[in-house]
Structure 1
Amino acid sequence: MDKFCGTWKMISSENFDDYMKAIGVGFATRQVGNRTKPNLVVSADEQGNVIMKSQSTFKTTEIKFKLNEEFDETTADDRKTKTVVTLDSGKLVQKQSWDGKETIVEREIEDGKLITKCVMGDIVAVRTYVKDA
């Protein structure tokens, strides 16, 4: 988990509009989502919780969870999901379920970058972050 901890700055985002459409995000929110380059701050506390904070000029969201334990999440686009995050083969896998739908957000460190894949059906968005010095 340690390798994920730190502040990550987004440097690229591919196919995110299609992903947001696939999960049901409205036009206006998608416009903002496409223009926003959030920082992702990942940390852990003494109780074994992981804290993931997405910070941007538009909105800051934070989730706090224990690995492998389901929790209620309100996403940046206001979906109410049942979410579970696991560590699988070095990847942080976040599975969100709501209204009979499911999406997976997979994060892994590759060549010092944090690669985030957002998957909904056959739609895949890739967002790349670098560690902020």
Structure 2
Amino acid sequence: MVDKFVGTWKMVTSDNFDDYMKAIGVGFATRQVGNRTKPNLIVAMDEQGTVSMKSQSTFKTTEIKFKLNEPFEETTADDRKTTTVVSLENGKLVQKQSWDGKETNIEREIADGKLVAKCRMGDVVAVRTYVKEA
């Protein structure tokens, strides 16, 4: 099921991301950079079922490697230390990050050939859309 996410995805739109970053506690300077950055998302999976997701931009490159439904420690692009679990729910890749008693979800799905990432923190939702590179 993860197969449909595998590939290199280029960000084309980002809506409400500043409000989302504010909601998770990202400082002003980092938000300014985050709002201007359009990272590529590179998703791969090996024979053992380990998935890697790399967010690559001129500002910063971060990568996480995980197996579905297995918690792992993640250091996010804004340097939060989270306990993260990624699962497959109704064809969506759902990433749940927990830190300091808070939780945020990033829900990724393929819709109309695009990868749509919905970042949720409480009632704040940011939507980032990617197209697959040939």
Matches of 1:61 and 1:23 in 2, distance apart? 18
Equivalent residue, structure 2, for 1:7: 8
Equivalent residue, structure 2, for 1:123: 124
Map of 1:1-133 to 2, 5 A cutoff?
1-133=2-134
Q: Over the residues paired in the alignment, what is the CA RMSD in angstroms?
A: 0.3
Q: Which amino acid aligns with 1:22?
A: A
- Structure 2: give runs of 5+ residues left out of the alignment: none
- Structure 1: give runs of 5+ residues left out of the alignment: none
TM-score (norm 1): 0.99
Matches of 1:27 and 1:132 in 2, distance apart? 31
| Runs of 4+ that moved beyond 4 A | none
Matches of 1:86 and 1:47 in 2, distance apart? 16
Matched position secondary structure for 1:25: coil
Matches of 1:46 and 1:55 in 2, distance apart? 23
Percent of pairs with identical residues: 82
